[in-house]
Amino acid sequence: MKCVVLEDRGKKGEAVRGAFSKKKIDVVFCTSSNDFMAAVSASKFDVAVINADAWGRGRAIYDYFDLGRKLEGKRLVFFNASEQFVPAVKYRKHGDKDVVYREPIEYEALVEAL
Domain ranges across the chain: 2-113
User: What are 72-114's pLDDT values in tens digits?
Assistant: 989 999 998 888 888 778 888 887 888 889 988 888 888 888 8
For domain 2-113, give the fold. Rossmann fold (3.40.50)
Show Cβ contacts of residue 83 under 8 Å, excluding neighbours closer than 6 positions: 102
Q: Does residue 10 register a pLDDT over 80?
A: no
One-letter amino acid for residue 50 of the chain: I
Number of Cβ within a 10 Å radius of residue 78: 23
Among 107, 112, 83, residue whose Cα is nearest residue 29: 107
User: What are 20-44's pLDDT values in tens digits?
Assistant: 888 878 899 999 999 999 999 987 8
Q: Does residue 17 register a pLDDT over 70?
A: yes
- pTM of the full structure: 0.88
Q: Does residue 11 register a pLDDT over 70?
A: no
- pLDDT the model gives residue 16: 82
